[in-house]
Amino acid sequence: MAEAPGWWRDAVIYQVYVRSFSDSDGDGLGDLGGIRSRLGYLRDLGVDGLWLTPFYPSPLVDGGYDVADPRDVDPALGSLDEFDRLVAEAHRLGLRVLVDLVPNHTSDRHPWFQAALSAEPGSPERDRYLFRDGRSGPDGSQLPPNNWQSVFGGSAWAPDERTGQWFLHLFAPEQPDLNWRNADVVADAERTLRFWLDRGVDGFRIDVAHGLIKSADLPDNPGAYSPELFGHGPEEVHSWDQPEVHDVYRRWRKVLDSYPGERMAVGEVWVRTDEATARYVRPDELHLAFNFRLLRAPWEATALRDAVTASLASMAGVGAPSSWVLSNHDAVRHRSRYGDGEIGLRRARAAALLLLALPGAAYLYQGEELGLPEVRLPDEALQDPIWLRSGRTTRGRDGCRVPLPWQGTAAPYGFSAGADSWLPMPEDWAALTVEAQTVDPGSVLELYRSALRLRREARSVSGAPRAPALFWEDSPPDCLVLHREDGLVCAVNLGSTDVPMPAGTLLLHSADPETVGTAVLPADSAAWLRRAG
Ligand code: NOJ
């Protein structure tokens, strides 16, 4: 592909949840062939690239984030040849490809973990993971080595019955944590990076980037895991965000920079402050880190503005752009987070214009361009380990992972040629399909297409992909008016009454301008306008 310097700085990347995007062989499971067949859709949508969630061989205890072999393709999803065809076709269409790297843990089926289980305490095989002896309880019973909690519920330690040791799993017990102070682990991750770089990928999304290194002696944490999703804070100071983790990214940055073209990495960094996030994107570390504060913010002007301002300020301190995201495969879809029914939809449309106006990179989650809501699945369909480990009290993340509706009027809506999809699709999604929305100029899909087209046009006018500076204008309470130095104005009304439309040439309205007119900005809507820069 032709190289634009810093292409990743303002790229719009579309997250493909591989098993739920498109199924090419009728087994109800999305696959690489399905993605390849739909690349034209992504090009026409107007994104710059796609991020593929894990497609590696996996027993699927955690949706593929339990990886049994990081350098292969799960046979149910394709093959390495199919992967190569997908990358080649994406590049032909001008789309970048990012893959997911899962360095914090493996599947318990990974040959290394199997070898560790058969090996003795103190062996080199066990040293690749975090095996420890337990502590004795007052009654002589064996207790886990420390008080750490699994993100998915319960203790972060599982017993190894044969030897009486315990092993650490910050996620499911089937996802044992690797020991990042072990040289094999360090070398193997680099091998994986090079394996996919050699196959032509443009970059990586790094899973749990803040978690690889733990406090050396694994001391008790001062508190328990907080229920905020992956919201690691001071109470878990020993398990996450250790200073030595940055050395890992400094090494990886050298690997990425040694390849032609600008290969990049974006980190999943769940830390409490913007300053802590910024440390992951210093010039010699990762390129980008998702800004989850925006994703977490309620539909309130102050909360959204503060999330934007704080991220821009802390990122500017290290010379990195912000990476905005409203939804992903771990969070309730923002259409549903912002409110039920029509109000959520109106707000999601407005939020799309805010997201895509912000300076920096943007990451879209498949289906947000269709305005998909979170689905309440029947209990028996739920697969997320959170559901089982919480004793069936927390439903988990399956509701945002339901397959995409492409066409037709009945499930599985063209997602699969077979009768079923791996997660059931709602009966009432006929109006949400790509096909239905493509013929409807007022659809969410057409709003995203228009916004992405205007964003690209603005980029081609401004030339270099440097994030334009942003200024907040005075605005009525509950409104946001941001003005970019390149002349784009984005106004969002988060209040409950109409406000006058700010000055400028109207480019795009999240509400139907034929119904609402162009002089007002109704409640829960947004508009893009142009003014002289
Ligand atoms: C973050 C991923 O996004 C999530 O889906 C997964 O469960 C955990 N990391 C563990 O890999």
pLDDT digits (tens, 9 = 90+) for 341-383: 999 999 999 999 999 999 999 999 999 999 999 999 999 999 9
Q: What Rg do the C-alpha atoms of the chain give, in angstroms?
A: 23
> pTM for the complete prediction?
0.97
Residue 525 token pair:
């809507």
Mutate to test the pocket of ligand 1, among 329, 330, 332 (most ligand atoms within 8 A of CB): 330
Which ligand 1 atom sits nearest the alpha carbon of residue 102? 11
CB 61 within 8 A of CB 107: yes
Ligand 1: distance of its center to the CA of 62 in Å? Answer: 7
Mean pLDDT of the chain: 95
Ligand 1 binding pocket includes 330 (Cβ within 6 Å): yes
Question: b or e along 350-387 (b: 16 or more beta carbons within 10 Å of the residue's beta carbon)?
Answer: bbbbbbbbbbbbbbbbbbbbbbbbbbebeeeebbbbbb
Distance of CA 95 to the CA centre of its chain: 18
**Separation between Cα atoms, residue 504 and residue 489, nearest integer Å:** 8
**Separation between Cα atoms, residue 156 and residue 168, nearest integer Å:** 6
What percentage of residues in the chain have a pLDDT greater than 90?
A: 89
| pLDDT for 4 | 62
- pLDDT of 533 higher than 70: no
Residue 358 backbone dihedrals phi, psi, to 5 degrees? -70, 140
Q: What is the tens place of the pLDDT at every residue in 174-191?
A: 999 999 999 999 999 999
Residue nearest ligand 1's atom 5 by CA: 330
- pLDDT of 310 higher than 90: yes
Q: What is the tens place of the pLDDT at every residue in 465-499?
A: 567 889 999 999 999 999 999 999 999 999 999 99
**Run of H or E residues at 258:** none
- pLDDT of 502 higher than 90: yes
Distances (CA, A) of 239 to 156, 236, 293, 316, 519: 10, 6, 21, 28, 53
Mutate to test the pocket of ligand 1, among 20, 171, 205, 390 (most ligand atoms within 8 A of CB): 171
| pLDDT for 459 | 80
* Paired strand residues for 52: 16, 99
Catalytic annotation, pick one of 174, 188, 262, 268: 268
Length of the chain (residues): 533
Q: Token pair 């709602």 is at which residue?
A: 426
| pLDDT for 229 | 45
Which ligand 1 atom sits nearest the alpha carbon of residue 328? 3
- Show Cβ contacts of residue 139 under 8 Å, excluding neighbours closer than 6 positions: none
268: annotated active-site residue: yes
Catalytic annotation, pick one of 23, 207, 262, 285: 207
Residue nearest ligand 1's atom 3 by CA: 330
Cα angle vertex 418, ends 414, 420, to 5°?
Answer: 90
| pLDDT for 228 | 58
Strands (E), 140-296: 142-143, 157-160, 165-168, 203-206, 264-267, 288-291
| DSSP letter for each residue of 380-414 | GG---HHHHHTTS-S--SGGG-PPPP-SSSSTTTT
| pLDDT for 2 | 53
Ligand 1 binding pocket includes 62 (Cβ within 6 Å): yes
Q: Which amino acid is at 446?
A: E
Residue 51 token pair:
């991020």
174: annotated active-site residue: no
- pLDDT of 462 higher than 70: no
Ligand 1 binding pocket includes 208 (Cβ within 6 Å): yes
Ligand 1: distance of its center to the CA of 206 in Å? Answer: 10
* Paired strand residues for 141: none
Ligand 1: distance of its center to the CA of 208 in Å? Answer: 7
Distances (CA, A) of 108 to 59, 172, 385, 413, 454: 9, 10, 15, 35, 47
Ligand 1: distance of its center to the CA of 65 in Å? Answer: 6
- Mean per-residue pLDDT, 83-89: 98
